[in-house]
Structure 1
Amino acid sequence: MALQPQRTVAELKELRALTGNEAGAQRVAWTDTWLEARAWLRTKLDDLPVETHMDAAGNVWSTLEGASERALLIGGHLDSVPNGGWLDGCLNVLAGLEVLRHLCDTYGGRPPVTVRLVDWADEEGARFGRSLLGSSACCGTLNPDDERGRTDKDGVALPDALRRCGVELDRMHEAGTELQNAAAYLELHIEQGPVLLDLDKPLGAVLGTFGVERHAVTFHGQAAHSGSTPMERRKDAFLAAAKMSPESYAIAARRGGVCTIGSCTTKPGIVTSVVEECRITLDQRHLDADALAMMLADAKGASERFAAEGRVTVNWDRLWRIDPILFDGALIDLCDEAIREVCGTSHRLPSGPLHDAAEVARAGVPTVMMFVQSLHGISHNKIEDTQEEHLELAVAALAKLADKVVARLGAQG
């Protein structure tokens, strides 16, 4: 059973046909289509001498027992966003499956260390708005009380949807035992952006994931008649908020990060009234914690300046934050080396999106990610795509990286 990267491409297409439609992938976590995808994966695992089970958080683990209990983990997620692409998440799992086959064959079914493939539950958070659900439970950062009240668009409660799939919210933390012998974690993913595309490089080694500061910024002015109120007398909350858009971009450019104003709502929200209240959401990201803190301070200072100019007030409410997560330096070097051996060139880059790998790294497990080029630089969209040649290179490079890590861990005893 020699490594067959083309088999991974064929299986990706098979999964697309099974769980997608003309609008894209439909493997939303905790739905029947997602369960169907997982059942399909189990049929592929039946040909290997692995033990497969679902943990208390809904993550599915397939374990190839080795001479040592120390474990190399290879992970990904089968779930998708609605109308998503054919590669996001599932490439990680199916490439990992092929590497599992390769290691099983290479070592006659018993490698020097244990190798485990994990399909994380609900990485996307598409149905209930809570990303990295299964991995955060396993890695100890999930607080059930923070999630208990979540409902989907149809009013279904998160605990009820979990229970239907055999998961109890208040027991999800028990999945943490799965990391007891974890010695390294590898994850392959499409880049979801244009960096590798613009550099004309198939693969890259990922340095870590951006830290995120996400806030609601609300400007408070005064409602007034849009016809009778002179321009110089207005206290227009929207005018102050609108100035934040170009300023936020300038801050991101100056500090070397990225930012997005993703929503804007106004009150009273009618054409005949000056805006009394304007709420925007600001997402700021950077790989360096100090630079991210300066981006936030710059934005807060700008908002207060614009508020004063417009004779309005402003307040900030934090929606969410996470520190930058840097991956393991030795594994980054091995990843870069494996990529160069397979395709002759590599590039080191950060990840703007979060991934399950970030949670695993936060739990103290040495971690690295590998990116493969995304055509169009687009993901979470049915046009998401990667050249098949690059997909095959990615599988080969992931296998090469796994070989290196197994050898290193085996030598450590």
Structure 2
Amino acid sequence: MTFHGMWAELLPVGRSAASGGYRRFAWTGADAECRAWFREQAEARGLAYETDRNGNQWAWLGDPAAGDAVVTGSHLDSVPDGGAFDGPLGVVSAFAALDELRARGARFTRPLGLVNFGDEEGARFGLACVGSRLTAGRLTAEQAHRLTDADGITLPRAMEAAGHDPGALGPDPERLARIGAFVELHVEQGRALDLSGDPVGVASAIWPHGRWRFDFRGEANHAGTTRLADRRDPMLPYARTVLAARRRAERAGAVATFGKVAVEPNGVNAVPALVRGWLDSRAPAQDTLDAVVGGIEEAAREHAAAHGVGLDVVRESFTPLVEFDHALRDELARILGRTGQPGLKVPVLGTGAGHDAGILAGSIPTAMLFVRNPTGVSHSPAESAAEDDCVAGVLALAAVLEGLACR
């Protein structure tokens, strides 16, 4: 099946008729359809298929036990009402690149693996890259068992309901030891390639980033009878903290976003008792990120105190600066520099987005390819990539796999 055929097959899965975006959350019906699609693609190509202890899906050409395998792929889940390309482009391109190499008669000298990592976006359980974190030992089984969704369903219970045994969750060093290189293709989540005029780029590093929960605790009261002077309204310091985050990030050349909020009791005619907001912040360097988040917390505490409101700040996740393996990155640049594709240059660029490749970078050599996104919009139904650029991405990935696995 061609890239376009695979893309058309996957496109309707988990799509919301109301928003046009995707709701492919981990261990739901839409996720099951995506996983079934991956297995069908693997088996149609005669690849050995398996699901590992953490729910990640693998398809193998050659014997992975031989070691020094080259692996490519990404994820198929989405953020709430996300775009079509974030994750799936890398998985579809992996199968398409293999098809391209087989059509050329390429002879593989290293095992080749294709992977769909589970629960990369963290949309359901609040933690990104669960599948790869577990595999790399960056998330313990005990921590994973404590993850719950908005309905109070635990991760193990959700996995069981989807037919996967959560009893074996945990690090998988034996699997990682068999992998010599992991290359993830991804749509760019920004406009660097659009501004430079290049269809494909190579990643240099992932900015340090994390998620912090701010709990502003006030006093519930009647919205119509409580004097303004008598209120302990947590919405006010929360709102001022959102504005402070924007100012701090602008001054530092970083980004800071309050994109999720929960209010209790969440009544139109009630002063809130609790406003819980989640901060996502990212910066080019660790010291910059520390200063931005520290400044936001300082402002939040000042505003909370001014309104008689309590505040708890909890860091829920954090990923330090990730520099991709320099030797592998340079090898990708050399391979792509000699492909002969008309007009193909190989810019090297950093990113503020987290990826499975970043999680695995501490365990195995990893690298990333980016495909141009003409608007830079991501995590939105407006996310896009031109057909020609997607094809250029497939050809670039095929060239990389050929250079690494067919030597």
Q: Is the deviation greater in 66-75 or in 56-65? A: 66-75
**Aligned partners of 1:213 and 1:296 also within 8 Å:** no
Q: How does 1:267-346 map to 2 (within 5 A)?
A: 279-306=276-303, 314-340=311-337, 341=339, 342=341, 343-346=343-346
- Tell me how far apart the structure 2 counterparts of residues 184 and 218 of structure 1 sit (CA, whole Å): 41
Of the three residues 80, 85, 88, the one matched with 1:87 is: 85
1:82 deviates by 5.3
Q: Is the deviation greater in 37-46 or in 318-327? A: 37-46
What code does the residue aligned with 1:14 have?
Answer: E
Q: Does 1:71 align with 2:66?
A: no
Cα–Cα, structure 1 residues 282 and 187, in superposed 2: closer, same or farther, change >3 Å?
A: same
What code does the residue aligned with 2:88 have?
Answer: C
CA deviations on 1:269-326 (whole Å, 9 max, x unpaired) are 7788887765443221124222212222222333344456667664423232222222
Q: How does 1:358-377 map to 2 (within 5 A)?
A: 358-362=358-362, 364-377=363-376
1:72 deviates by 0.9
- Tell me how far apart the structure 1 counterparts of residues 179 and 232 of structure 2 sit (CA, whole Å): 58
**Aligned partners of 2:198 and 2:347 also within 8 Å:** yes
Aligned to 1:353: 353
Q: Does 1:117 align with 2:111?
A: no
Aligned to 1:40: 37
Cα–Cα, structure 1 residues 7 and 292, in superposed 2: closer, same or farther, change >3 Å?
A: same
Cα–Cα, structure 1 residues 399 and 376, in superposed 2: closer, same or farther, change >3 Å?
A: same
What code does the residue aligned with 1:387 have?
Answer: A
Aligned to 1:209: 206
**Aligned partners of 1:287 and 1:325 also within 8 Å:** no
Q: Does 1:58 align with 2:68?
A: no
Q: Does 1:162 align with 2:159?
A: yes
1:202 deviates by 2.0
Cα–Cα, structure 1 residues 335 and 293, in superposed 2: closer, same or farther, change >3 Å?
A: same
What code does the residue aligned with 1:15 have?
Answer: L
State the identity %: 30
Q: How does 1:207-286 map to 2 (within 5 A)?
A: 207-219=204-216, 237-264=234-261, 279-286=276-283
What code does the residue aligned with 1:77 have?
Answer: H
Cα–Cα, structure 1 residues 344 and 60, in superposed 2: closer, same or farther, change >3 Å?
A: same
Cα–Cα, structure 1 residues 194 and 303, in superposed 2: closer, same or farther, change >3 Å?
A: same
What code does the residue aligned with 2:10 have?
Answer: L
1:13 deviates by 1.4
1:186 deviates by 0.1
- Tell me how far apart the structure 1 counterparts of residues 137 and 213 of structure 2 sit (CA, whole Å): 27
1:366 deviates by 0.8
CA deviations on 1:183-237 (whole Å, 9 max, x unpaired) are 1110001123333334443222222223223223345678899888686x98765
Aligned to 1:3: none
Aligned to 2:377: 378
**Aligned partners of 2:136 and 2:171 also within 8 Å:** no
1:137 deviates by 1.8
1:101 deviates by 3.2
Of the three residues 7, 16, 37, the one matched with 2:11 is: 16
- Tell me how far apart the structure 1 counterparts of residues 264 and 12 of structure 2 sit (CA, whole Å): 45
1:119 deviates by 1.5
Q: Is the deviation greater in 267-276 or in 352-361? A: 267-276
Name the TM-score, length of structure 1 as normaliser: 0.82
- Tell me how far apart the structure 1 counterparts of residues 71 and 148 of structure 2 sit (CA, whole Å): 32
What code does the residue aligned with 1:57 have?
Answer: N
Structure 1 residue runs without a partner (length 5+):
1-5
Q: Does 1:101 align with 2:99?
A: yes
SS at 1:259 equivalent: strand
- Tell me how far apart the structure 1 counterparts of residues 50 and 261 of structure 2 sit (CA, whole Å): 44
Q: How does 1:382-401 map to 2 (within 5 A)?
A: 382-401=381-400
Based on CA coordinates, which of the two structures has the bigger radius of gyration? 1
- Tell me how far apart the structure 1 counterparts of residues 16 and 303 of structure 2 sit (CA, whole Å): 47
Residues matched between the structures, number: 400
SS at 1:112 equivalent: coil
What code does the residue aligned with 1:372 have?
Answer: V
Cα–Cα, structure 1 residues 154 and 244, in superposed 2: closer, same or farther, change >3 Å?
A: closer
Aligned to 1:171: 168
CA deviations on 1:148-172 (whole Å, 9 max, x unpaired) are 2444456654323312444322302
1:71 deviates by 0.9
Name the TM-score, length of structure 2 as normaliser: 0.83
Structure 2 residue runs without a partner (length 5+):
none
CA deviations on 1:308-366 (whole Å, 9 max, x unpaired) are 6667664423232222222112222233445555443343332322211122113x211
- Tell me how far apart the structure 2 counterparts of residues 155 and 300 of structure 1 sit (CA, whole Å): 28
- Tell me how far apart the structure 2 counterparts of residues 366 and 181 of structure 1 sit (CA, whole Å): 12
Q: Is the deviation greater in 313-322 or in 215-224? A: 215-224
- Tell me how far apart the structure 2 counterparts of residues 157 and 197 of structure 1 sit (CA, whole Å): 41
**Aligned partners of 1:286 and 1:324 also within 8 Å:** no
- Tell me how far apart the structure 1 counterparts of residues 112 and 268 of structure 2 sit (CA, whole Å): 62
CA deviations on 1:2-46 (whole Å, 9 max, x unpaired) are xxxx92133211222466464344543323443333333333333
Cα–Cα, structure 1 residues 253 and 394, in superposed 2: closer, same or farther, change >3 Å?
A: same
1:266 deviates by 6.2
1:238 deviates by 4.4
Q: Is the deviation greater in 126-135 or in 137-146? A: 126-135
Q: Is the deviation greater in 196-205 or in 53-62? A: 196-205
